[in-house]
Amino acid sequence: MKSFIAFLIVTVAAVASGQMYRPLPPDVEESHFAYQLKSFRDSLDECAEYLEVSKDSVKQLVASNYITQDNELKCLIRCAGINSGWWNETSGVQGPVMESYFQPGADDTCYERRTRECLAAKLAVCQNDCSKAYESFLCYYHQWGNLKCGEQYVPLTQLEQIQAAIDCINILRVPRNLLEQYSNGIVPDVPETHRLFRCQYIAEGLYDPAVGFNLPRVYVRKHEIPAPEILSDRTKQCVDAALKGSCDECSRVFKAKSCFSNYGVPNSTGAILKNAADILLGQPPSCPAPPAPSNPRYNYNQ
């Protein structure tokens, strides 16, 4: 399945050198807005279809406050975790994503400590991945707070992030010589880059031109290395100040990213653009490339 998705990315991303791009296949839609919102129950019901678990079994699981000894239902919880991004087979529970599904009590100051202690005790005796995912969920369910009913932000997988970047590059017709800079790990501070970052943030659901950055989503998106600093008043003030600047919107967005880009996984968007550029540059051209300029515009070392 993973190899098929990777092949799909490469196929959809076909682009020529210079500024000549192949059209997308007629049966493929561009992911202008790549992100999803799902409730915990949405993920559970979807997984019930994947795993052929009956609706009655799901209803009984919910009615019993998710207490079960049935391994099939534990695997259903694991599937819901993968589906909504809070469970990873290698690193386990993704704290920032899981947290978004629960609301701590207003006067509860110990929920984080209790949850950590629960995870340490429960996961030590788990025998398989379904049990680990299930017990992780129960620790949050019993210790962190109330399970929210509404939809929550689902962070994109790495492949989805790269696909969104490829779409943005195609939509904005980013020149090949700039892609070559991205491929070399260089992100020039130029208007084309500013527009590309804005497009990527919109596609991932992190930025809305009408309201600005959604920092709780940025926190969830950087779940591999949790960074509570993203949710601080200091970061919000920094972002708000940058977005109120006098330059154009794309430049303001690019400036605002510096307020949180080094928290969690540093410069994660630059890494996504590098992967997208690597894929695009590997495509055969659909028409002859124009002569290379003697003084490339994007010859920056930043």
The single-letter DSSP state of residue 18 is T
Tokens of 211: 């309201």
pLDDT the model gives residue 202: 96
What domains are there in the chain, each with its CATH number? 37-154 (1.10.238.20), 155-281 (1.10.238.20)
pLDDT digits (tens, 9 = 90+) for 175-204: 999 999 999 999 999 999 999 999 999 999
Pick from 292, 158, 295: nearest CA to 224: 158
Are 12 and 163 spatial neighbours (Cβ–Cβ below 8 Å)?
yes
- Judged by average pLDDT, the poorest of 8-12, 61-65, 112-116, 258-262 is 8-12
Strand blocks (E) in 67-226: 87-88, 92-93, 102-103, 146-147, 152-154, 207-208, 212-213
pLDDT of residue 224 exceeding 50, the answer is: yes
Average pLDDT of the segment spanning 221-248 = 94
Average pLDDT of the segment spanning 35-57 = 96
CA atoms of 146 and 91, how far apart (whole Å): 24
3-state secondary structure of 87: strand
Q: Please list the residues that pair with 87 across neighbouring strands.
A: 93
pLDDT of residue 267 exceeding 90, the answer is: no
pLDDT of residue 18 exceeding 60, the answer is: no
- Judged by average pLDDT, the poorest of 30-34, 108-112, 183-187, 259-263 is 30-34
CA atoms of 53 and 243, how far apart (whole Å): 48
Q: Please list the residues that pair with 37 across neighbouring strands.
A: 153
Cα distances (Å, whole numbers) of residue 68 to 62, 76, 280, 302: 10, 11, 48, 55
Report yes or no on whether pTM surpasses 0.85. Answer: no
Average pLDDT of the segment spanning 220-242 = 96
Are 58 and 44 spatial neighbours (Cβ–Cβ below 8 Å)?
yes
Rg (CA), the chain: 22
Pick from 178, 133, 170, 160: nearest CA to 274: 178
Strand blocks (E) in 1-74: 36-38
pLDDT band at 8 (very low <50, low <70, confident <90, very high): very low
pLDDT of residue 23 exceeding 80, the answer is: no
pLDDT of residue 291 exceeding 80, the answer is: no
Exposed (0-12), middle (13-18) or buried (19+): which is 178, by Cβ within 10 Å? buried
pLDDT digits (tens, 9 = 90+) for 48-92: 999 999 999 999 999 999 999 999 999 999 999 999 999 999 999
pLDDT of residue 295 exceeding 90, the answer is: no
pLDDT digits (tens, 9 = 90+) for 121-154: 999 888 899 999 999 999 999 999 999 999 999 9
pLDDT of residue 227 exceeding 50, the answer is: yes
Tokens of 28: 């493929």
